[in-house]
Structure 1
Amino acid sequence: MTALNQSPGSTGTTGTVDAAARPSNGRTLTGSLGVTAIVFMVVAAASPLTVVGGAAPLGILLGNGVGYPAMFAISAVVLLLFSVGLATMAKHVPKPGAFFTFVGYGLGRPMGLATAYLALLTYTTIQVAVYGYMGYVLQVTFTGLGGPDLPWYLYALAVIGLVGVLGYRHIELSSKVLGVLLVGEILIVLALVVAVVASGGPEGLSLAPFEPANIVSGAPGVGLMFAIAAFIGFEATAIFRDEAKNPSRTIPIATYVAVIGIGVFYTIASWGIVMAWGPSGVVDAAAADPGAMVIITTLNYLGPIGEVVINVLLITSMFACVLSFHNVITRYQHSMSTAGVLPRRLGDVHHRHLSPHTSSIVQTATAVAFTGAFALLGLDPVLAVFTWFSGVATLAIAILMAITSVAVIVYFTRKNRGAASVWHTVIAPALGLAGLVASAIIITAYFPMLVGDVDAEGIPVFGVLSLSLLAFIALVPVAGYVQALVLRARDPQAYERITDAIGG
């Protein structure tokens, strides 16, 4: 089976091919996405307003209080170092599988396939988590407006259907929808920050969030955990390689722009929230009502109109998030189908929309099945669905990035030495790896708190729920690794096709 992005006219190892020149063979994705469109999609997946309205108050309350904004800056530095290796691999590996492709090239086919399954777990769990939270928000919103009191899962299913329709069509339609929604999110948050700065805040403007004493106060590990979770999605730029104008240039630039843009935005936005309440009052404000903190802050500084706008944009922010992750998951499934490890039909491309339409339908059905199961089990959409699965995705993404960093170092030191500078191939990836390993350890230590496994005194303990979810994170990639070994023993030709698609 030919590689997904291996098309006539590619040159060298970078595979730079103009999108319009790529042939359509019924399984190859094509497009002309530029840097802006790709950045919109991956930043939308990070869901800026959902982070500012949901993660930031929790990071302030449960993490390091006034010093929480600094956690975004620290996370951005770690992930920027990771991005150096990711972007360098994107230039030298002309295939769109992102994590599993890069790991396959660096650490071999079995590890590549294990990583592919872990990536699917990551993006699926974060998507269903947001579906649960969004269903709850829509239920509360429409009930508050006098509408019928329908269960949260009906709203979630309606959103899944709409996302499925957009995901079935050409990727550029999704990018336009995401672009409009993302601009609205950014503008309302920046308007809030400007209003806070103009007023001076109750205690004046300061750099208190970045003072060392405040950064290490409280539980900085929890703060770091929430901050890194807020970046999930930026790393998916490489998955859109086949649909980019000039992949070898567009993908690296989009990666850097995404992580830097997200880091700067979150840091400024969370600093604005701290200033809006003052360093001495922000923790109490978060404790009073963390879920409504950003809405109350907006009401105080932008008035009732601002409150309505941010309520609406909070919903659209979550919609943009699930739509973006839908696109990422469908393309992971498409790449894995091309590699021969998922059913061949998942690799089909629609003749008119040029989208992985079969993969989109399967992904939509998966989301429906999960939501239906949650409804039958009577799980709380926020305290169970959103919290548990966000915790799974947070730990899984840190592990994914750490493994990818190792793969980058191995690939350029053992298999493609001298292809790029030592900074791009060893030093930056190694520094990023150190930060990611530390983050994974911290997240694991506090994982019980994420899923509610605490004792009577509120101290996290590893109970049945947290251990079960951790075991799930471990077993999913093991399944992929075993599948690769089985293919090598039973079907060498299929194993070789994996080699063609993901390297190794």
Structure 2
Amino acid sequence: MTQLESKGVEASAKRTLTGSLGVTAIVFMVVAAASPLTVIGGAAPLGMLLGNGIGFPALYAISAVILLLFAVGLAAMTRHVPKPGAFFTYVGYGLGRSTGLASAWIAMLTYTTIQVSVYGYLGYILSVTVQSLGGPALPWWLMSLATIAVVGVLGYRHIDLSSKVLGVLLVAEVGIVLAMIVVVIASGGAEGLSLAPFEPANIAAGSPGVGLMFAIAAFIGFEATAIFRDEAKDPNRTIPRATYAAVIGIGIFYTLASWGLVMAWGPSSVLEVIAEDPGTFIIATMARYLGPFGEVAVNILLITAMFACVLSFHNVVTRYQHSMANAGVLPDKLGAVHAKHLSPHVSSLVQTVTAVVLIAVFAVLGLDPVLQVFTWFAGVATLAIAILMAVTSVAVIVYFARTKKDGRAWNTVIAPALGFVGLVLSAALIVAYFPIMVGDVDAGGNPVFGAVSWFLLGLVVVVPIIGYAQAAWIKNRRPAAYAKLTDSIAG
């Protein structure tokens, strides 16, 4: 950073992202990361089958309430901390530079694992689709690598291009799901319309911790609205509005859509249908209610939805790396901005290479792209994000208690505290049921913490420790750099 700073304003501008994204564009970016059709077609059936059965739709509503409470404090911070970086920056302001750096690494773990998990699932879907159309039987990992290449090209260019691509794909995938819901309601469903998914007994049935993991995972990405601060138009208004819109919109849509899936087959039959083949459940449902057109359309849109998801997460991760580089904790070159595309192009290239390496490792290990790559690493990402948001909630409370910059008790104390409680309880449930998700169970189907569970859970512990260790090293060995870190993260 010193060399760039010595070149004056011109160099500084080359490290600053710019743009004019409005509320709608940012909402498209983060909702696309949530990937509505991927959630409804892939995660929701698994949430019902492995989680709490027909009570699963209610967990989307519960998750939305918890995350909306968290979003209140997050929105307050965006108004008083005018810097991108989201959790990385906000935790640093509230709880200190070391904890801020640790949170940055947890965020990197979250977005890297969720992105690579979807790359695995998408590679599998593409390989099956190509073969079903009469093409060669290509390995899933080859299709994943091809997808990474396309995402890398789009991520290298200006953010406006990505937002336009994501906007078109998002409208299409949401549209077909809403069309299915309308037809299900109009037809009265398979066994009549009811509120059975919201009955307390059904919500608490089965393995609610696994169900909650799938539910919270569906929201990952909404908090990234703050990452796009430098590229937003009127960020003090745009970012809070986009955050609230994303949480409320995602929550309503997922709750309604998953309820529609239960009604489409009936509370007494839906789990049996899902068990036959969770991967094709959404296709069978579309074929039943929208006919051949719906079946073909959802096949195509499921692929584009997953593509939109990985493209959005790629943009998020590259901007996290960009913020961390400008704070002096990642190589300086990652903070560079392309002169023409105004994108963090070096960071984008590094993220592309990271994804390639991880997919290659999974392929060499012979992991199943859906049951292992997708399920395992989506679980890691969900637990990590729940912990990260809980820490951020504490940071919000501490920051405003210390600075007195905002006297609104609801925004700075009550809502963040309630969100913290909900997130901690969610994280505890996810840990308790984590072995079931990865297949570590005894003969009776009870969770047992085996090698796989401990390894995956260990990632969530080891990664932030690396952040603390890095902060200590910078402080002791490079005090001048630590001073810059202080200025970059917290004021």
Give the structure-1-normalised TM-score: 0.94
Question: 1:357 Cα shift?
Answer: 0.3
Q: Which amino acid aligns with 2:93?
A: Y
Q: Which residue of 2 aligns with 1:457?
A: 444
SS at match of 2:219: coil
Q: 1:31 and 1:418, CA in 2 relative to 1: closer, same or farther beyond 3 A?
A: closer
- Identify the residue that residue 226 of structure 2 maps to in structure 1: 238
Residue in structure 1 matched with residue 7 of structure 2 by the alignment:
none
Q: Is the 8 A contact 2:92 2:98 kept in 1?
A: yes
Q: What is aligned with 1:333?
A: 321
1:212: Cα distance to partner? 2.2
CA-CA distance at 1:222 after TM superposition: 2.2
CA distance in 2, matches of 1:219, 1:161: 38
User: For the aligned residues, what is the CA RMSD?
Assistant: 1.7
Q: Which amino acid aligns with 1:241?
A: R
Q: How far has the Cα of 1:356 moved from its partner?
A: 0.2
- Between the aligned partners of 2:56 and 2:458, the Cα distance in structure 1 is 30
| Residue 142 (1) aligns with residue 119 (2) | no
Local SS of the residue matching 2:13: coil
Q: What residue number does 1:13 align with?
A: none
Please give the per-residue CA displacement for 1:267-314, whole angstroms capped at 9, x wherever unaligned: 010011011011111121222221111110100000011100001000
Aligned partners of 2:210 and 2:436 also within 8 Å:
no
SS of the aligned residue for 1:64 comes to: helix
Residue-by-residue CA offset, 1:407-462 (whole Å, 9 max, x unaligned): 00110112x21524010000000000000000000011111122221222222111
SS of alignment partner, residue 91 of structure 2: helix
Q: Distance in 2 between matches of 1:221 and 1:306?
A: 33
* Contact kept? 2:209, 2:432, Cα under 8 Å: no
One-letter amino acid matched to 1:287: A
> What corresponds to 1:84 in structure 2?
72
Describe how 1:67-106 pairs up with structure 2 within 5 A. 67-106=55-94
C-alpha distance after superposition, 1:117-175 (max 9, x if no partner): 11001100001110011000100111011101111111101000000000000000000
Whole-angstrom distance in 2 between the partners of 1:466 and 1:160 = 28
- Verify the 8 A CA contact 1:129 1:387 in the aligned structure 2: yes
Q: Which runs of 5+ in 2 are unaligned?
A: 5-9
Match of 1:395 among 361, 365, 383: 383
Q: Deviations over 1:159-213 (max 9, x none)?
A: 0000000000000000000000000010000000001011111211122212222
Q: Aligned partner of 2:445: which letter?
A: G
Q: How far has the Cα of 1:45 moved from its partner?
A: 0.4
Letter in 2 for 1:227: A
Structure 2 residue aligned with 1:492: 479
Report the Cα distance in structure 2 between the residues aligned to 1:88 and 1:129, rounded to whole angstroms: 32
C-alpha separation between the residues in 1 aligned to 2:372 and 2:265? 30
How far apart in 2 are the matches of 1:458 and 1:67? 20
CA distance in 2, matches of 1:343, 1:244: 26
Which one-letter code corresponds to 1:417 in the other structure?
K
Q: Which amino acid aligns with 1:497?
A: K
Tell me by how many angstroms 1:470 deviates: 1.3
* Aligned equivalent of 1:471, options 458, 465, 483: 458
Candidates 353, 361, 365, aligned match of 2:341: 353
User: Contact 1:96–1:239 at 8 Å: present in 2 too?
Assistant: yes
Say whether residues 1:283 and 2:280 are aligned partners.
no
Deviation string 1:364-397 (CA, Å, 9 cap, x unpaired) is: 0000111111112222111221121111111101
Which residue of 2 is the match for residue 9 of structure 1? none
Q: Distance in 2 between matches of 1:176 and 1:208?
A: 39
2:371 is aligned to 383
The structural deviation recorded for 1:217 is 2.4
SS at match of 1:63: helix
Q: Which residue of 2 aligns with 1:422?
A: 409
CA contact (8 A) 1:24 1:30 kept: no
Q: CA deviation at 1:58?
A: 1.3
**Deviation digits for residues 20-67 of structure 1 (CA, Å, limit 9, x no counterpart):** xx9961100000000000000100001110100111111112222221
Judge conservation of contact 2:59–2:212 (CA < 8 Å) in 1.
yes
| Separation in structure 2 between the aligned mates of residue 385 and residue 328 of structure 1, nearest angstrom | 20
Q: Deviations over 1:293-338 (max 9, x none)?
A: 1110100000011100001000000000000000000000000000
Deviation of 1:473 after TM superposition, in Å, equals 1.4
